[in-house]
Amino acid sequence: MVLLTIIGGIYYLKLPNRHRAIIKTKLYHGFGIVDERWNIQPKDSSIQLVTPTLVIDNIYKSMEGPKVTRSFQLDPQRSDLVWINSFQTKAVSTNEVDQLSNDYVCHTNVDFYDGLHFSRWQLDHRIGEQYPRLTSMSNGIERYQFPKGFGFPVFTDESLFLSTQSLNHNIIGDPFTIKHDITIGFEAHHKDMKPLMSKTVFVMLPYDAENPFEGPTDTDPNMCLPVETKNHSYTNDNGQSLSGHWVIFPGKDTYSYDITTQLQLRDSTTMHAIATHLHPFAETLSFRDKTTDSTLFVSKATNYTDKIGLKNVSFFSSEQGVMLYPDHDYELVLETNNTSDVNQDMMASMFVFLYDAEMAEKIATYQPSR
């Protein structure tokens, strides 16, 4: 037992901060040291989900903090078609009433089960096309809603998946506890609603798979320094390794990435909303049409000046929408300014909501069961 304890302790100490947080959270909840229960309250036009207690006992940068996950349904007591149209997440105290700083919110992801969702509408060809993420709320953009008349169609008894992670860039000292309070809004089905589909686009940068932590170099300045290679690492069609989570050095820099393949546009359509996910020291993330050399939207990030963190990240919403075309090329352009004197980590993504004409045809034939 002593030997196993020593070996386990050595293994634990060698783990990165993110993996330590996972182990500690499981132990806190498994042994009942802190509240491990979810408080879920379905309502007529929203659902509120309050997480189990999360223990903040360290500096946790983006993607590192304690997190919890679970499946849920908007209302398992009925099977009505509704339209998800708003999202909000906030940090609260363990009494589930007092709001805390949203500096403790890293991100809250909402996913859907694409096999169940698309087969219900006889859209089986969409299953597995892309990761089925509906959206994400994150530090600086903790609440937003779709333009009037637009939504994501789901049934109230359809399973969704929630993952929410905590953040702590600045507070050092005694451990403290928080919860996340998430509200997802929706409205009843009516014939004038227009369906949106979600596309996740994000910046990826190349790195040397054989020597991932030696770049960039003088001989290959285009290589990035990935934060790690086990997560947020990808391989393109040419076999090149890419990272969506990389290191930025002190000072200003600009990064760009072609997102045409990520968008997977088959037909012309309109873009009606964008929610942006950025890390501290990002300044702007632009969605650009390379074919016309035009900028369609610039998401602006406001950083705190007296601490690390994002005060605000701007959101795009438009009833009229912006046209996108399958024969155009698109890119994301990220501008950063690392005002600290040490390396920082960076991610840059957009959750792009497009008018879904194919789904609109299916819903036009929908007949409620009662």
Q: Each residue of 124-170: pLDDT tens digit?
A: 999 999 999 999 999 999 999 999 999 999 999 999 999 999 999 99
Average pLDDT for 193-202: 97
Q: Are 140 and 348 in contact (CB under 8 A)?
A: no
pLDDT band at 368, cuts 50/70/90?
Answer: confident
The one-letter amino acid code at 299 reads S
Closest C-alpha to 141, from 339, 333, 285, 45: 285
Indicate if the pLDDT at residue 3 is higher than 80.
no
pLDDT at 144: 96
pLDDT band at 217, cuts 50/70/90?
Answer: confident
pTM over 0.85: yes
Closest C-alpha to 43, from 4, 97, 82: 82
Q: Each residue of 71-128: pLDDT tens digit?
A: 999 999 999 999 999 999 999 999 999 999 999 999 999 999 999 999 999 999 999 9
Q: Each residue of 262-302: pLDDT tens digit?
A: 999 999 999 999 999 999 999 999 999 999 999 999 999 99
pLDDT at 275: 97
pLDDT at 8: 64
pLDDT at 11: 62
Q: Which residue has the tokens 């999360």?
A: 54
Least confident of 5-9, 222-226, 324-328: 5-9
235 phi and psi angles, rounded to 5 deg: -130, 130
CA dihedral 359, 132, 142, 290 (to 10 degrees): -80
Q: Each residue of 297-318: pLDDT tens digit?
A: 999 999 999 999 999 999 999 9
- Alpha-carbon distance of 37 to 50, in angstroms, equals 9
> Average model confidence (pLDDT) for the chain?
94
Identify the structural domains of the chain with CATH numbers, from first to last: 37-195 (2.60.120), 198-356 (2.60.120)
Closest C-alpha to 153, from 123, 109, 108, 179: 123
- Alpha-carbon distance of 343 to 341, in angstroms, equals 7
Partners of 141 in beta bridges? 138
Closest C-alpha to 295, from 261, 327, 322, 325: 322
Indicate if the pLDDT at residue 34 is higher than 80.
yes
pLDDT at 230: 86
- Alpha-carbon distance of 223 to 219, in angstroms, equals 10
Indicate if the pLDDT at residue 347 is higher than 70.
yes
